[in-house]
Chains A and B, each alone.
Chain A
Amino acid sequence: MASLIHCPHCGIRPKEEFTVRGDASLVRPEPDASDEAWHEYVHIRANPRGRTREHWQHLYGCRRFLVVERDTVTHEVYSVTDGAAAARGGSR
């Protein structure tokens, strides 16, 4: 994961082409959600030791935000999918 990322649009590309945005499991609350929900969305992270889902952007490539599902200890990557597709599908 720290060397190569398999972009679903561009193929296997070096990590240098990507930037990391952060936790992909967060869902932006509705405007009328509670203060607590908003605080947690912006500030609180599950930060799991193990499997996680993270938004990476293929900045020097297709510029798509990707969901990288991977392990935070072994750095093994389980899947890389397009972020918008995941967001539309409500699978986050």
Chain B
Amino acid sequence: MTGYRLPNSGLVDRAATLEFRFDGKRFTGHAGDTLASALLANDQLLLARSFKYHRPRGLVTAGVSEPNALMTIGSGARTDANTRATVAELYAGLEARSQNNWPSLKHDVGALNNLLSPFLSAGFYYKTFMWPAAFWEKLYEPLIRRAAGLGRAVLESDPESYEKCWTHCDLLIVGSGPAGLSAALTAGRAGLRVVLAEQDFRLGGALLSETTTIGEQTAPAFAETVLSELGTLPNVTLMPRTTVFGWYDDNVFGAVERVQKHVAQPLAKLPVERLWRIAAKRALLATGAEERPLVFGGNDRPGVMTASAIGTYANRFGVAAGKSVAIFTNGNAGYRTAEDLARQGVGITAIIDTRADAPSRSAEALKDVRIIKGAGIIDTMGGQRLNKLVFERSGYEEVIACDAIGMSGGFNPVIHLACQRGARPVWSVELDTFVAPDVGGGLSIVGAAAGRYSLSACLADGAEKAATIAADLGFAATSYEAPAVGEEVDPSFTALWYVPGAKSKAFVDFQNDVQARDLGLALREGFGHVEHAKRYTTNGMATDQGKLSGVNAAGILAGMRGVSPAEVGITTFRPFYTPVSFGALAGTARDMHAAPKRVSPLHGWAERNGAVFVEAGLWYRSSWFPREGEKTWRQATDREVLNVRENVGLCDVSTLGKIEVFGSDAAEFLNRLYCNPMAKLPIGKARYGLMLREDGIVYDDGTVSRFGENHFFVTTTTGLAAGVLSHMEYCAQILWPELDVRFTSVTDQWAQMSIAGPKARDVVQALVEDDISNKAFPYLSAGVVTLKGGLKARLFRISFSGELAFELAVPASFGESVADAVMEAGRAHGICAYGLEALNVLRLEKGYVTHAEFDGRVTPDDAGFGRMVSAQKLDFIGKRLSTRYGLTAADRMQMVGLKPVEKDKTIRAGAHLLKEGAKPSTINDQGYVSSASFSPVLDHDIALAFLKSGRERYGERIVVWDRLKNEETVAEVCEPVFVDTQSTKLKV
């Protein structure tokens, strides 16, 4: 074949010449070209290697279904692998590389597979490589794996940006061919909000490749006229370069707009791709129809394309696929392509028609063309470039020289989207293909996609269906009548699934190298169900997802089984219609924007005090506050802990969930919510609260404070703040709607700081007008106080360190200045800021629990809170199921303390427990360490652990088994409190 640029035809801008490279070689094309059309114009036929046999391949199509011409475009971090050259818009500086070959496209060692093909039949790998067993992973699989894939992903951070949008419309039209345009014009004139989405960079669809006239105009000119009117309608949005890839529930369509994929240097201010979720009241599928390849021997040689692709290259791009083109057809459409080519001066060597009874055509352009009826191509020749074909008729073979073959095997409506939500395609006897089922009013199929192939039918169908939709939606009807169409293509054909007598490989799925005989093998081995055949042979599993091969495979299987394709069916259509990048679907959610960032109102204060921050859910929390000379987190943390125990420290606890609860039934509500009693909590008091799930397992803990008869304030852990609020809403709205209770999250409204240590009162009193002596404001008091200067604040005498402690809450905007004032007031008392790490050590030394202990499998009793659970209360969440046998069994794991017997040994959270001398096994597993740390007060490691029947085992020696670290430490089981065991410091 010899591709060349035709002198006059086509829609490319011949004034704009674009330079580009393919495999390092320099080429030129024109604006309006695809990479494929430009390569063809330069007679670059060999474009790719197939997946399995590495066969040389060229273009088969001129559109999204292209199975062969996949290439890598771009360089560095801007590399896009597996891009179909047939849809890649040409731009100056485009760099493309071929794929799946070594050392070069022309000389590819992988082509050896082609010679071995008898041994590489469908599913061969299931039948071998099993002996010797170890060889599969050591030898065979690495070999297979090396051959995997087509393009190479660079997996570097993507420098470009993406975004997502919603849009809403009355009517979404997918496809801007004749049916789409007439529908858009009808609906647009009627006033509907219309979105017209077209995957191509140029609107017009099949009209752009059409040579007939519409009214007085050429088809492309007609498209221009319609588009210019649509452009003036404010209610119509035209979206070129936008592929609708999925149809989802509620008539929402997913679409991706390629905003800057066609430019060498994308502008930073714009995304390269944009994801659209289009919520459409109605939608029209105007996606046209696709010509089927014919399955014949040698049908994959570069130079063999669908006839419509050859037509499109000539008519739209002004590129001839060859100088002597043969058309191989089973219908009348092939003749039309031949006429179009002949009129443009392209040589037609022959038209080979599989139909012996094909109607005679008398087109002037074809008067000298040899027409061979009742014949079939059985082989092609020419190595990497077609130069001859062999056809067979009535037992006689003949060789014809040609440099391109246009194959025309009939048409398949493009119904992918309509079948993505469970409805199966329906076999049409008249059309000899699968058509879309009735999928309800939301999505209608129109034009060629509905099997109405002629141009006039498409124009009429689009207008008619759009008018119906307009009327349905209550718009005043307008009608649109397109001008008369000139000579029409006759789309009739006689289905032929397989051309008999193939003398070389006849491919059904080009990319995956699935031949007709592979389908035969599948059938022979019991894989005749269309889904089995697909999975066994990989037919339809390539990047085109069976767009070209699916119907042919169904036809071939049907033929072999002796049934109708209706009985065989076709494999399931699923999103995505064409592949979509991760980037477009992810949008802006990446890197540091992967999740929202929450910072405490005291964040600035913490920064000023030198905090090191750590992610805690969405929050950044201050973790430790290193001082000069401190090299490790441990040094800072130890100092902070000791300072709190000896003097005083300030810790930011603002991230705790805070919920304000009001209502005459607030007390009753909280009483049912927590497993311990809350109804009689006195005003001005705080109480620890434990919340269960309905299955009796601990859900969350926190404090409940009462500010008034009908006013409470509850805190949750940082991690479950959102979950607890939602749980409370469920209880209030669904379980107990009769209770008079209202609540709201005030987490972000308050800055809350814990001031803990023996000197805490001195520091806080210096700032507070009110008397906070132990007598006036004893342990577990909660109240509103006035800060010096007049600010109202909330003060709680609660402690998570075991020290004398106050939690001071002020409106968020005052947080930093109050914290600064506390630090100032505390300076004389040796105050330090302390972080999450110190907080954790302090609580561990006292045996206080966190979600390291409450991991969603622990009962109150497991953690030593058994007596807190109210036996008196009639009902609370979790009451009934907490008494189940397994939840009260004596051998449950209970929380204990652990101390290493040799003080210099370490204990790590996550280690498991074994009896001394016991062999490690799941049955011998005694429990695990939930939290551990070094205690600077005790100068050795301490831990909380869950141990089977643990509370009976104080004093026992147990092995702390950390196999991951290859460490064993003998520890003594003890009560889970290590410091100030009598709690003498708390209540002074």
Q: State whether the Cβ of B770 lies closer than 8 Å to any Cβ in chain A.
A: no
Q: State whether the Cβ of B880 lies closer than 8 Å to any Cβ in chain A.
A: yes
Is B279's CB under 8 angstroms from A88's CB? no
Interface residues of B in 721-759 (CB under 8 A from A): 726, 729-730, 732-735, 737-738
Q: State whether the Cβ of A10 lies closer than 8 Å to any Cβ in chain B.
A: no
Is B735's CB under 8 angstroms from A4's CB? no
Is A55's CB under 8 angstroms from B734's CB? yes
Interface string of A35-64 (1 = CB under 8 A from B): 100110110000000000001010100011
Q: State whether the Cβ of A28 lies closer than 8 Å to any Cβ in chain B.
A: yes
Is A57's CB under 8 angstroms from B881's CB? no
Interface residues of A in 1-21 (CB under 8 A from B): 1-4, 12, 14, 19, 21
Q: List the B side residues contacting A75 at CB < 8 Å.
A: 249
Is A3's CB under 8 angstroms from B734's CB? no
Q: List the A side residues contacting B735 at CB < 8 Å.
A: 28, 87
Q: State whether the Cβ of B952 lies closer than 8 Å to any Cβ in chain A.
A: no
Interface string of B489-507 (1 = CB under 8 A from A): 0000000000000000000
What CA separation (Å) do A71 and B15 show in the bound complex? 58
Q: List the B side residues contacting A4 at CB < 8 Å.
A: 249-250, 252, 279
What CA separation (Å) do A83 and B881 show in the bound complex? 25
Among A28, A64, A77, point to the contact of B733 (Cβ < 8 A): A64
Q: List the B side residues contacting A2 at CB < 8 Å.
A: 248-250
From A3, A12, A14, name the one whose CB has the most chain B CB atoms within 10 angstroms: A3
What CA separation (Å) do A75 and B252 show in the bound complex? 13
Q: List the A side residues contacting B251 at CB < 8 Å.
A: 3
What CA separation (Å) do A84 and B726 show in the bound complex? 14
What CA separation (Å) do A58 and B574 show in the bound complex? 29
Q: List the A side residues contacting B279 at CB < 8 Å.
A: 3-4, 12
A31/B694 contact (C-beta < 8 A), A3-B277, A14-B166, A38-B881 known: no
Among A38, A55, A74, A88, point to the contact of B730 (Cβ < 8 A): A55
Is B249's CB under 8 angstroms from A63's CB? no
Q: List the A side residues contacting B694 at CB < 8 Å.
A: 41-42
From A28, A64, A74, name the one whose CB has the most chain B CB atoms within 10 angstroms: A28
Is B734's CB under 8 angstroms from A83's CB? yes
Q: Across the interface, name the chain A residue whose C-beta is closest to B745.
A: A63
Question: How far does the Cβ of A3 sit from chain B's closest Cβ, in whole Å?
Answer: 4
Question: How far does the Cβ of A37 sit from chain B's closest Cβ, in whole Å?
Answer: 9
Q: List the B side residues contacting A65 at CB < 8 Å.
A: 729-730, 733-734
A59/B880 contact (C-beta < 8 A), A3-B250, A42-B695 known: no
Q: List the B side residues contacting A84 at CB < 8 Å.
A: 732-734, 737
Q: List the B side residues contacting A41 at CB < 8 Å.
A: 694
Number of interface residues of A (CB under 8 A): 29
Is A31's CB under 8 angstroms from B879's CB? yes
Among A3, A38, A59, A74, point to the contact of B248 (Cβ < 8 A): A3
What CA separation (Å) do A1 and B249 show in the bound complex? 6
Among A14, A63, A88, point to the contact of B738 (Cβ < 8 A): A88
Among A31, A42, A55, A63, point to the contact of B874 (Cβ < 8 A): A31
Is B734's CB under 8 angstroms from A42's CB? no
Q: Across the interface, name the chain B residue whose C-beta is closest to A41.
A: B694
A83/B733 contact (C-beta < 8 A), A31-B874, A38-B881 known: yes
Interface residues of B in 246-276 (CB under 8 A from A): 248-252
Q: Across the interface, name the chain B residue whose C-beta is closest to A30.
A: B875
Q: List the B side residues contacting A88 at CB < 8 Å.
A: 737-738
Is B880's CB under 8 angstroms from A35's CB? yes
Q: List the A side residues contacting B879 at CB < 8 Å.
A: 31
What CA separation (Å) do A31 and B874 show in the bound complex? 7
Could you say which interface size class chain B belongs to? 20 to 34
Q: List the B side residues contacting A28 at CB < 8 Å.
A: 735
Q: List the A side residues contacting B730 at CB < 8 Å.
A: 21, 55, 57, 65
Is B734's CB under 8 angstroms from A87's CB? yes
Interface residues of A in 70-92 (CB under 8 A from B): 74-75, 77, 83-84, 87-88
Interface residues of B in 203-227 (CB under 8 A from A): none
What CA separation (Å) do A14 and B249 show in the bound complex? 11
Is A42's CB under 8 angstroms from B249's CB? no
What CA separation (Å) do A59 and B745 show in the bound complex? 13
Question: How far does the Cβ of A87 sit from chain B's closest Cβ, in whole Å?
Answer: 5
Is A57's CB under 8 angstroms from B729's CB? yes
What CA separation (Å) do A84 and B738 show in the bound complex? 9
Among B252, B738, B874, point to the contact of A3 (Cβ < 8 A): B252
Q: List the A side residues contacting B695 at CB < 8 Å.
A: 42
Q: List the A side residues contacting B734 at CB < 8 Å.
A: 55, 65, 83-84, 87
Q: Across the interface, name the chain A residue whose C-beta is closest to B873.
A: A31
Interface string of B229-259 (1 = CB under 8 A from A): 0000000000000000000111110000000
Question: How far does the Cβ of A26 sit from chain B's closest Cβ, in whole Å?
Answer: 10
Is B277's CB under 8 angstroms from A31's CB? no
What CA separation (Å) do A38 and B166 show in the bound complex? 44
Q: Across the interface, name the chain A residue whose C-beta is closest to B696.
A: A42
Q: List the A side residues contacting B726 at CB < 8 Å.
A: 19, 57, 59, 63
Q: Across the interface, name the chain B residue whose C-beta is closest to A24.
A: B734
Q: Across the interface, name the chain B residue whose C-beta is closest to A77.
A: B250
What CA separation (Å) do A31 and B694 show in the bound complex? 12
Question: How far does the Cβ of A40 sit from chain B's closest Cβ, in whole Å?
Answer: 11
Q: Across the interface, name the chain B residue whose C-beta is closest to A66.
A: B733
Q: List the A side residues contacting B874 at CB < 8 Å.
A: 31
Q: Across the interface, name the chain A residue whose C-beta is closest to B738.
A: A88
Interface residues of B in 833-889 (CB under 8 A from A): 874-875, 879-881
Q: Across the interface, name the chain B residue whose C-beta is closest to A33.
A: B880
What CA separation (Å) do A84 and B330 show in the bound complex? 66
What CA separation (Å) do A77 and B249 show in the bound complex? 10
Interface residues of B in 104-160 (CB under 8 A from A): none
Q: List the B side residues contacting A1 at CB < 8 Å.
A: 249-250
Q: List the A side residues contacting B732 at CB < 8 Å.
A: 84
Q: List the B side residues contacting A57 at CB < 8 Å.
A: 726, 729-730
Question: How far does the Cβ of B588 sit from chain A's closest Cβ, in whole Å?
Answer: 14
Among A3, A19, A42, point to the contact of B881 (Cβ < 8 A): A42
What CA separation (Å) do A41 and B695 show in the bound complex? 10
Q: Across the interface, name the chain A residue whose C-beta is closest to B876.
A: A31
Q: List the B side residues contacting A74 at CB < 8 Å.
A: 422
Interface residues of B in 48-73 (CB under 8 A from A): none
Question: How far does the Cβ of A38 sit from chain B's closest Cβ, in whole Å?
Answer: 4
Q: List the B side residues contacting A29 at CB < 8 Å.
A: 880
Question: How far does the Cβ of B282 sit from chain A's closest Cβ, in whole Å?
Answer: 15
What CA separation (Å) do A83 and B734 show in the bound complex? 6
Q: List the A side residues contacting B166 at CB < 8 Å.
A: 14
Question: How far does the Cβ of A84 sit from chain B's closest Cβ, in whole Å?
Answer: 4
Q: List the A side residues contacting B250 at CB < 8 Å.
A: 1-4, 77
Q: List the A side residues contacting B875 at CB < 8 Å.
A: 31
Q: Across the interface, name the chain B residue whose C-beta is closest to A87.
A: B737
A3/B880 contact (C-beta < 8 A), A42-B694, A87-B737 known: no
Is B881's CB under 8 angstroms from A87's CB? no
Is B248's CB under 8 angstroms from A63's CB? no
Interface string of B286-308 (1 = CB under 8 A from A): 00000000000000000000000
What CA separation (Å) do A87 and B736 show in the bound complex? 8
What CA separation (Å) do A19 and B880 show in the bound complex? 27
What CA separation (Å) do A39 and B696 show in the bound complex? 11
What CA separation (Å) do A31 and B870 show in the bound complex? 14
What CA separation (Å) do A27 and B740 show in the bound complex? 20
What CA separation (Å) do A38 and B881 show in the bound complex? 7
Q: Across the interface, name the chain A residue whose C-beta is closest to B252.
A: A3
Residues of A within 8 A of B (CB): 1-4, 12, 14, 19, 21, 28-29, 31, 35, 38-39, 41-42, 55, 57, 59, 63-65, 74-75, 77, 83-84, 87-88
Q: Please name 15 further chain A to chain B contacts, defined as beta carbons within 8 Å, in addition to the given A57-B729, A63-B726, A83-B734, sorted by A numbering.
A: A1-B250, A2-B249, A3-B250, A3-B251, A3-B279, A19-B726, A28-B735, A38-B881, A65-B730, A65-B733, A74-B422, A75-B249, A83-B733, A87-B735, A88-B737
Q: Report, nearest first, the 3 A-B pairs whose CB atoms are least far apart.
A: A3-B252, A31-B875, A84-B733
Query: Can you list 11 A-B contacts (CB < 8 A)?
Result: A2-B250, A3-B250, A3-B252, A12-B279, A28-B735, A31-B874, A42-B694, A42-B881, A64-B729, A84-B734, A87-B734
